Amino acid sequence: MKKRRKNLENLYTYNSRKDEYEISLSLRNYEEIYNPYDFSQYKKRDMDEDFLDYIYDSSLDIPLNHKIKLLFHLKDKTYNEEKSRNLKNAIKNNYKWRQAIILNKLKDKMKECALLFLAGSLFLVLAFLVLPLIQNGGTVLDLLVESLSIIGWVFLWDLVEILAFEVTKLNKKKKYLNRLINSRVEFEQY
């Protein structure tokens, strides 16, 4: 654990008072973080996806039990209070938008899980209802019961796979995005 913290502190500044890691970014100007093909006003411009992905990927290095501070370094001549405020809002809004997408995906996965549970349960119930009929039946009824049972278990296995892997992965991504949404954003002039 101490080795991991030491490695993190080699990459990011750690503030033990606030239990916070600092992701530092140096900007030549405000334009470099916006999409180069979008010429709208700053308040409406799309942000550069590579820039946002860099911040998100950097946040993945830091365990979820620590806070994050985004620190932008700007030249004195470049710094502008209004542009900085717009940048801060744009970052948070973008991560809120990404989180909303994750929440929609989670909702869809839960609907899919409900359908899988119903389908799997239905096939298993049918298999157990047909089971008493095959005591005097033949190979065809045996095959029918086995098929219904297998289909039911396949549906339930898909349900378990979605819950264990896909939903877990989406929930973790949602937590990382939430931490970025709640992170402090500061600007430092040099």
pLDDT at residue 184, rounded to an integer:
96
The CA-based diameter of the chain, rounded to the nearest angstrom, is 91
Residue 44 has pLDDT above 90, yes or no: no
pLDDT at residue 41, rounded to an integer:
64
How far apart CA 154 and CA 159 sit, in angstroms, is 9
Q: Is the pTM of this model over 0.85?
A: no
Question: What tens digit of pLDDT does each residue of 98-152 get?
Answer: 999 999 999 999 999 999 999 999 999 999 888 777 776 677 778 888 999 999 9
pLDDT at residue 177, rounded to an integer:
98
How far apart CA 160 and CA 188 sit, in angstroms, is 48
Question: What tens digit of pLDDT does each residue of 45-70 get?
Answer: 688 899 999 999 999 999 999 999 99
Q: In this structure, are residues 42 and 88 in contact, taking their beta carbons and an 8 Å threshold?
A: no
Q: In this structure, are residues 59 and 179 in contact, taking their beta carbons and an 8 Å threshold?
A: yes
For every residue of 101-140, DSSP letters joined together read: HHHHHHHHHHHHHHHHHHHHHHHHHHHHHHGGGGGS--HH
Question: What tens digit of pLDDT does each residue of 6-35 get?
Answer: 778 788 999 989 999 999 999 888 888 887
pLDDT at residue 136, rounded to an integer:
65
Name the pLDDT band for 38 (thresholds 50, 70, 90).
low
Residue 1 has pLDDT above 60, yes or no: no
Angle 31-35-40 from CA coordinates, rounded to 5°: 80
pLDDT at residue 14, rounded to an integer:
92
For the chain, domain boundaries: 2-98+183-189, 102-172
